[in-house]
Amino acid sequence: MDAIKVSGLSFSYDGKKDVLSDVAFSIPKGCYTTIIGHNGSGKSTIAKLLIGLMSPKQGSIEILGQSLNEESVYKLRDHVGIVFQNPDNQFIGSTVADDIAFGLENHCVPQEQMQDIIEDVAGRVGMLDFLNSEPTKLSGGQKQRVAIAGILAIEPEIIIFDESTSMLDPQGKASINEQIQKLHSEKDRTILSITHDMEEVAQSEYVIVLKDGHVVLTGTPMEIFAHEKELASMMLDIPFALKVSKELTKEKITNQEVCTLEEVVNQLCQLKSTI
Partner 1 sequence: MVMNNIALGRYMPLDSVIHHLDPRAKIMVLLFLMIAVFIPAGAVGYVVIAAFIVVALFLSKLQISYALRAMKPMIWMMIFLLVINTLVIKTGTPWIQWGWFSVYSDAIYQTLYIVVRLMFMIILTTILTATTKPLDLTLGIEKLLKPFEKIGLPAHIIAMMISIALRFIPTLIEETQRIMNAQASRGVDFENGGLKEKIFSILSLIVPLFVSSFDRAEQLANAMEARGYDPNRQRTRYKVLKMKTKDIFGMAMSVVILGVCLGIWIL
Ligand X SMILES: Nc1ncnc2c1ncn2[C@@H]1O[C@H](COP(=O)(O)OP(=O)(O)OP(=O)(O)O)[C@@H](O)[C@H]1O
Segment (H or E) for 203: helix 198-203
Q: CB of residue 109 vs Mg ion: minimum separation in angstroms?
A: 30
Q: Which of Mg ion, partner 1, ligand X, none sits in contact with 101, Cβ below 5 to 8 A by type?
A: partner 1
| Contact window for ligand X (CB under 6 A) among 32-40, 72-80, 114-122, 152-160 | 32-40
Point out the residue whose Cβ comes nearest to ligand X: 44
Q: How far apart are CA 267 and CA 246, in angstroms?
A: 13
Q: How far apart are CA 214 and CA 173, in angstroms?
A: 29
Name 117's Cβ contacts closer than 8 Å, sequence gap at least 6.
100, 104, 109, 153
C-alpha gyration radius of the chain: 20
Q: Which is nearer to partner 1, 85 or 249 (CB)?
A: 85
CA 220 to chain centre: 16
Report the site for ligand X in 140-199 (rule: CB under 6 A).
none
Q: CB of residue 54 vs partner 1: minimum separation in angstroms?
A: 9
Q: Which of ligand X, partner 1, Mg ion, none sits in contact with 8, Cβ below 5 to 8 A by type?
A: none
Q: CB of residue 272 vs partner 1: minimum separation in angstroms?
A: 49
Please, what is the angle between helix 140-154 and helix 111-124, to 10°? 130
Q: Which of partner 1, ligand X, Mg ion, none sits in contact with 77, Cβ below 5 to 8 A by type?
A: partner 1
Cα dihedral 94, 95, 100, 105 sign: negative
Q: Which of partner 1, Mg ion, ligand X, none sits in contact with 42, Cβ below 5 to 8 A by type?
A: ligand X
The answer to whether 156 and 104 have CB atoms below 8 angstroms apart is no
> Interface residues with partner 1 (CB under 8 A)?
48, 51, 53, 74, 77-78, 81-82, 84, 86, 88-90, 92-95, 97-98, 101-111, 114, 118, 134-136, 150, 154
The answer to whether 221 and 259 have CB atoms below 8 angstroms apart is yes
Point out the residue whose Cβ comes nearest to Mg ion: 44
Per-residue x/- track, 33-62, ligand X (CB under 6 A): ----x-xxxxxxx-----------------
Q: Which is nearer to partner 1, 81 or 221 (CB)?
A: 81
Q: Which is nearer to partner 1, 151 or 248 (CB)?
A: 151
Report the site for ligand X in 79-138 (rule: CB under 6 A).
85
The edge-to-edge listing of strands for the beta sheet with 32-37 is 80-83, 158-162, 190-194, 32-37, 206-211, 214-219
